[in-house]
Amino acid sequence: MKIVKGKLKRPRRIVAHGVEGIGKSTLASGSPGAVFIGAEDGTSQLDIHRFPEPRGWGDIMGALDALKNEEHDYRTVVVDTLDWAEPMVWKFVCERDGKSDIGSYDWGRGYATALDQWRLFLSKLDTLRVSKKDGGKEMGVILLAHSHIKRFENPEGPDYDRYELKLHHKAAGIIKEWADCVLFCNYETYTHEQNGKTKGVDDGTRVMYTERRATFDAKNRENLPPKLPLSWDELVTAQLNLVQQYESLLKEVKDEKLKAKIEEGFKTAKEGKDKAKMAILVNYMKGKIEK
């Protein structure tokens, strides 16, 4: 039996969801060697490589097979969007099983039946992340989706609304579990008191959140800062070694008292292997330097 020790370095599996028009496709277009699978009109203004518009679930799966079996120089596959593809999954399983629609299965089993196709889809994506024997490159994966506001049944208190993937909850669950990062993209909002009422306002700043909060779904396995500008370059920079970022940014801090305080905090965090605290300090320095 051959045992492999240590971390396995593989391209990332990213899911990015957000409100309509926030810039999810633009974010993905910045990834290296991207090729898009989808029919979203929102990419018409982008200079990107696309597969022909899929007419059904078989076309989407066929595109993944082509990326696996044919020679090409693409490095990232982007599916735009998951909620656009989901009705194709339902239509495919209904036609295969002789059902009129996804709700016509006994005991509501249609959505569970569709999960087999989602699992096969994710399996094909994972296959693309492994180098080909003929020297082909590993491919990263970016799955885009719209968000919708859904009521969350809180077992510990009052229910509340939150942003979630605009997918059936069973499909959303396995996709979020599979992903290395789930990014929530939105406008940065602030609360403002006026005439005794609290209003939400934004200045047009687009950001992506990397950690789950009560009001939205997010996740990351790479110790990203909790919030980043909505930019592929920012995402790449944030994933560089935290120590390298720290050392580079510390040189730009002119206030000697502040520098000493940051050095002490980073040393403590590093000794305790607290990457979250290290990331917070790096992000803090970025904010100070930008000002």
**Domain count within the chain:** 2
The pLDDT of 169-183, averaged and rounded, is: 96
Would you say residue 230 has pLDDT above 90? yes
pTM, entire model: 0.79
Q: Do 268 and 186 share a domain, yes or no?
A: no
CA dist 99 and 101 (Å) reads 6
**Among 190, 217, 216, which residue's Cα sits nearest to residue 202?**
190
Q: Do 193 and 251 share a domain, yes or no?
A: no
Is there a domain that residue 1 lies in?
no
Per-residue model confidence as pLDDT tens digits over 234-268:
888 776 667 777 888 888 888 899 999 999 998 88
Burial of 171 from C-beta contacts in 10 A (0-12 / 13-18 / 19+): buried
Q: Do 160 and 258 share a domain, yes or no?
A: no
Predicted pLDDT at 270: 82
The pLDDT of 272-286, averaged and rounded, is: 76
Q: Do 223 and 255 share a domain, yes or no?
A: no
Q: Do 202 and 261 share a domain, yes or no?
A: no
Q: Do 141 and 274 share a domain, yes or no?
A: no
Q: Do 104 and 49 share a domain, yes or no?
A: yes
Q: Which residue has the higher pLDDT, 286 or 4?
A: 286
CATH for 102? 3.40.50
Let me know: does 249 contact 286? Beta carbons within 8 Å: yes
The pLDDT of 177-202, averaged and rounded, is: 77
Let me know: does 117 contact 89? Beta carbons within 8 Å: yes
Residue in the structure block whose two tokens are 């009560």? 214
Predicted pLDDT at 9: 64
Q: Do 22 and 125 share a domain, yes or no?
A: yes
CA dist 178 and 196 (Å) reads 45
Q: Do 56 and 83 share a domain, yes or no?
A: yes
Predicted pLDDT at 7: 52
181-194/13-18 β-pairing: parallel
CA dist 18 and 244 (Å) reads 31
Last residue of a domain, one of 231, 249, 265: 231
CA dist 33 and 75 (Å) reads 5
54 pLDDT band, cuts 50/70/90, is very high
CA dist 15 and 226 (Å) reads 16
**Enclosing domain of residue 258:** 240-291
Predicted pLDDT at 132: 60
Let me know: does 12 contact 141? Beta carbons within 8 Å: yes
Per-residue model confidence as pLDDT tens digits over 115-158:
999 999 999 999 999 866 555 678 999 999 999 998 887 777 78
